[in-house]
């Protein structure tokens, strides 16, 4: 609840100041800051956060670690791939996009069922495994799933 109060006090309910959700996330400083000179990347990372709404969105993103929702599953997947700091920033960016859509268009957050997400991830893993097996001249034989 505190995250909602802080975000609305910092941002307000009028989203007409930002044309897109990307601009909104950039204003919150949740986007990459690549310093480039003559085509060479000098520094990567995100800018230092001075915005209380961005700080609260990062805290909300970290609280997803134990959530059984699709957002929680997405955060845990990103955390295993990227590491905690980058995953927190990425999920805070995603939360900022959701807030922008809710306030600008009045859309409700459509919760994905965790089961559908698990099925999608499993299909992706099976496709990846079959490609890996084919590259090693192996063949996969599916085993029926045991529930117990």
pLDDT at position 133:
92
Helix (H, G, I), strand (E, B) or coil at 12: coil
Q: For 42-70, give one letter per residue: b (16+ CB within 10 A) or e.
A: eeeebeebebebbbbbbebbeebeeeeeb
Residues with pLDDT less than 70, the chain = 1, 45-47, 49, 109-115, 117, 147-148
In Å, the largest CA–CA distance within the chain is: 60
pLDDT at position 109:
67
Global pTM value: 0.69
Helix and strand element counts for the chain (H, E) = 6, 2
pLDDT at position 114:
60
pLDDT at position 111:
62
pLDDT at position 110:
65
CA-based nearest residue to 94, from 120, 74, 67, 114: 74
- Per-residue pLDDT of 4-29, as tens digits, reads 777 778 878 788 888 888 888 888 88
pLDDT at position 103:
82
pLDDT at position 102:
83
- Name residues whose C-beta falls within 8 Å of residue 140's C-beta, 6 or more positions apart in sequence: 129, 130, 133
């Amino acid at each position: 609840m505190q995250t909602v109060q802080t975000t609305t006090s910092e941002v307000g309910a009028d989203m007409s100041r930002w044309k897109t959700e990307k601009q909104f996330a950039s204003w919150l400083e949740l986007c990459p800051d690549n310093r480039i000179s003559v085509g060479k990347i000098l520094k990567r990372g995100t800018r230092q956060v001075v915005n209380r709404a961005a700080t609260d969105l990062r805290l909300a993103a970290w609280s997803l670690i134990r959530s059984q929702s699709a957002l929680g599953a997405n955060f845990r997947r990103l955390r295993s791939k990227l590491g905690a700091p980058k995953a927190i920033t990425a999920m805070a960016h995603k939360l900022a996009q959701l807030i922008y859509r809710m306030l600008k268009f009045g859309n409700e957050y459509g919760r994905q069922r965790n089961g559908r997400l698990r099925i999608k991830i499993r299909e992706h893993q099976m496709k990846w495994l079959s490609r890996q097996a084919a590259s090693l001249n192996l063949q996969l034989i599916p085993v029926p799933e045991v529930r117990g």
